[in-house]
Amino acid sequence: MWDSAEGFFGSYYIYWISVYLFIGYGASLLTLYLSGIFLARRSIKRTKQRSIFLRAEDVVSATDIPSVTVVAPAYNEGLTIIENVKSLLSIQYPYYELILVNDGSKDDSLQRLIDEFDLKRQDATFITQPIPTASVKHIYKSRKKKYTHLTVIDKNNGGKADAINAGVNFANTELVIFTDVDCIIEQDAILKMVRPYLEEDDKEIIGCGGGIGIANDSVIKNGILTELKLPSRLVPMNQVVEYIRAFLLGRMAWSEVNGLMLISGAFGMYPRKRVIEVGGFNPKTVGEDLELCIRLRKHMEEQKIPYKVVYLPETLCWTEAPSDYNILIRQRDRWARGLWETISLHRDLLFNRKYGKMGMLYYPYWLLFEFGAPIVEFLGVICLIAFGIFGWINWPFAILLSFAAYLVGCVFSTIAIFMYIKSFDHYTKPKQIIELLLAAYLEPFYYHPLLLYGQMLGYYKKIFDITSGWGTMTRKGFKVSKS
Amino acid sequence: MNEATVLFFIIIIFSILVIYWVSITVSIIYRRRRTASLTQIELTFADIVSRYLYNDPKNPLTLPEITQTLRDVGIKEQNKNNIQYLIRLMIRTQRTILGSNFYKLQKLYAQIPPHGVSIKKISSWSWYRKARGIREIYEMNQSQYFDEIFKYRNDKNIYVRREAQIALVVFLGWESLRFLPYLKRNMTLWQQIKIVEKLYDHYPKPELKWLHRAYKTEKLFGKKLLMRIIRKYELHAETDFIINNLNHPDYEVRETAIYCIQTFAVSTPTMDYIKRLYDEIPNATQQGQLLNYIYENSDIDLDFYLKQLYGTNDDLKLSVAEILWNNGYKEKVQEFYYQQYPNAVLNVG
């Protein structure tokens, strides 16, 4: 079997070059992940130590803390919009505004909002719009005293990025938080998020993100997460593990070296001034969160202003993850297209000394390991099949190597779960931890292939210029307890 | 690389996996036991404090008795985590009580097992322990250690010097402002806010002589801190200090001054002076903020607004147009608009 590798001219070289390329790629990724663990561990420890001296309750009564606007775009969310807005309005922060942007919904979202919050149309003649957006029809404010911090912008449809930009235009606070209208935000989340802005000395904070958790099947009461449960279905359960790994290991590690290029669109805080300076979110890409963060970083590098992008390890925002395969694939397809578009838009960063570490390290990492990973994986599958057909594969060796790679993946997931349960008390029951571990160990067999399929589908659409927008993200909704 | 090498690699990886499984199990068991132990300490402490603060003359609670009870629940010198937890409980309790009980609790703190623990931390090499020790000392108002803390006010570690500076405020009150011109390192916004809050909590009555002495500081953070203090205490007679910084060359000092002045209403001559300063502000956004303040706190001064309407910045012109439009000067806005766009039809309102 092995001898047949000599079957045609150059086959020996093709085989070994491929093998060494894949092994080299895997080894580089392994080294990066290992470094990530050490950096994340250091970052979490340091954040925990610092938090003792930066208690939110020390400044909660202060009148000097910055004002914050939460901008939440909504499109056809009529069924759940009232509950969701009430949840966002319940966040505890003394100087807080909520701007809900109705992005041309075709359902009765706006009427429901008008009825529930007793909204009154405002005069918007002289309001400036520094970022161009689809036209704004009307602005509404609540007549009810307890909802004076609510503003609703009714505009023509322009997509998520366009809707957020409209919110930024109308905000008049120092800081803006972008979130999805159906996210459940922890009550003290804003107090924790403004902390880095208040305590930074020599570098300007241009972005701050917080951990995002999955709350499928959990119980929500009065807009607050009262009982966190693990999702009952496997797809969202795997996303719990995936989020723990991504946020606790990945983002915290990058935050430690000021290499964060992405703050999740589900929950991120930025200085309004800087967002306007760069022209807001780019409505032409579906990966608008990644694109904005990179553009902001580029802007600061060009201005030669020292800056930082930070991440907080605590879970401050809970979201509902796709609960079935089809929605998951659509989500990953969109993320892949967003990544493609952003990587392509900012290709001038590649090995560009002008942008310092961002050009020399962070962007190449994203290109090689975030953008490149699905391609390498896909090519790996093709090579496996082709080499198998040619009979070039030493199967016992290949199986052992695959098993080793599988075990390495299990170790990383186990470390992430261990660090999470050690740092936070969200999942403390042995049954929950065992379920998380099992989900992590089963991931490569059914969940990961789906992700790969979704990502490759996104790339395929980009290669063949197949138009596809955000797609419909059907959600089941949280369990709302009325009692 | 051969099969034996990969097999060896698998064994190593699997061993690591087993180590983490064991760690997770230990972590779960430890967390359960620890939670139970902490609950017991908390309940015992609550019982001791209530009996100590409201001592029954017939059955008085003595110090040896307190020490023994605490020892029974694990408050021993060798168990540092438990002692640390007790300190946290004491700080938390002390924050919620007032009057004579406040001082009684501080006395208790100096006499029971945590005694001396905080001051020992100050000599530690670790910034974390050092800053924690200082924090515990000022939270429990152990002013006898003031001299030891004082020397850390310019420490190179931001957390150590922050805690030491807050300790100065807690122990010296308004007098601590006299050290402001001599602080060597920058003070973050968080630190400024915390100092203002601590000063306000502990010393609600202003002592202006210390404030006036601090005015001579050239430190930018010092100026910002003083303006925040004036704002927090609503010291109307001291607004000149804020006003004089409205056109400061430093962006952040101006930002703070514009922010702080918004708390105060000023006399017409002072407002005229502010209007003169308005033109000297080199940043349009800050001018816009000050314009809002001027509009909300004074009568319409047509000359002032018309001058701005014919200025250079479009955003400011729009703000001024809105003010004039909503205050009975629509024709002035129309006149301006027609000058700009002679062939246009004004479509407003």
DSSP annotation of A470 reads S
Give the pair of three-digit tokens for residue A69. Answer: 């606007």
pLDDT of residue A223: 78
Q: Which residues of A touch B (CB under 8 A)?
A: 49-50, 52-54, 58-59, 61-65, 125-126, 128, 130, 195, 197-202, 273, 396-397, 400-401, 403-404, 407-408, 410-411, 414-415, 417-418, 421-422, 425, 428, 430, 433, 437
pLDDT of residue A294: 97
Last residue of a domain, one of B67, B88, B115: B115
Measured distance CA(A78)–CA(A434) in Å, rounded: 38
Chain A and chain B share a number of CB contacts under 8 A equal to 104
Which candidate in A59, A63, A417, A432 is best for mutational testing of the B interface (most B CBs within 10 A)? A63
Query: Per-residue pLDDT averaged across B212-229, rounded?
Result: 92
B55 lies in which domain range? 20-115
CB distance B231–A417 less than 8 Å?
no
Does pTM surpass 0.80?
yes
Instruction: Answer yes or no: is B335 within a domain.
Output: yes
pLDDT at B114 over 80: no
pLDDT of residue A110: 93
Query: Per-residue pLDDT averaged across A140-163, rounded?
Result: 93
Point out the residue among A126, A404, A414 whose CB comes nearest to the CB of B10.
A404
Give the pair of three-digit tokens for residue A284. Answer: 């032409």
- The length of chain A is 483
* Per-residue pLDDT band at A473 (split at 50, 70, 90): low
CA closest to A200 among chain B residues: B188
Instruction: Answer yes or no: is B51 within a domain.
Output: yes
Query: Per-residue pLDDT averaged across A13-24, rounded?
Result: 89
CB distance A417–B194 less than 8 Å?
no
pLDDT at A20 over 60: yes
Last residue of a domain, one of B115, B134, B159: B115
pLDDT in tens, A235-268: 999 999 999 999 888 999 999 999 999 999 999 9
pLDDT of residue A2: 47
pLDDT of residue A362: 96
Residues of A in contact with B121 (CB under 8 A): none
User: Strand ranges (DSSP E) for A8-82?
Assistant: 68-74
CA closest to B187 among chain A residues: A201
Range of weakest confidence among A119-128, A362-371, B43-52, B234-243: A119-128
Last residue of a domain, one of B71, B96, B115: B115
Instruction: Answer yes or no: is B142 within a domain.
Output: no
CB distance B10–A403 less than 8 Å?
yes
Query: Per-residue pLDDT averaged across A314-339, rounded?
Result: 92
Measured distance CA(A457)–CA(A467) in Å, rounded: 12
Which candidate in A37, A126, A135, A399 is best for mutational testing of the B interface (most B CBs within 10 A)? A126
Measured distance CA(B196)–CA(B235) in Å, rounded: 14
In this structure, the strands spanning A204-214 and A307-319 are parallel
Measured distance CA(B347)–CA(A125) in Å, rounded: 10
* Per-residue pLDDT band at A225 (split at 50, 70, 90): confident
Range of weakest confidence among B32-36, B46-50, B203-207, B335-339: B335-339
Point out the residue among A52, A64, A433 whose CB comes nearest to the CB of B24.
A433
Burial class for B52, CB neighbours closer than 10 Å (0-12, 13-18, 19+): buried
Instruction: Answer yes or no: is B146 within a domain.
Output: no
* Per-residue pLDDT band at A1 (split at 50, 70, 90): very low
pLDDT of residue A470: 58
Give the pair of three-digit tokens for residue A377. Answer: 């994986």
How many folded domains does chain B comprise?
A: 2
Mean pLDDT of the residues in chain B: 88
- Check residues B256 and B95 and name the one with the higher pLDDT: B256
Instruction: Answer yes or no: is B325 within a domain.
Output: yes
CB distance B228–A400 less than 8 Å?
no
CB distance B197–A58 less than 8 Å?
yes
Q: Which amino acid would we find at residue A420? A: Y
pLDDT at B232 over 50: yes
Instruction: Answer yes or no: is B126 within a domain.
Output: no
Residues of A in contact with B84 (CB under 8 A): none
pLDDT in tens, A358-373: 999 999 999 999 999 9
Residues of A in contact with B189 (CB under 8 A): 64, 197-199
Mean pLDDT of the residues in chain A: 90
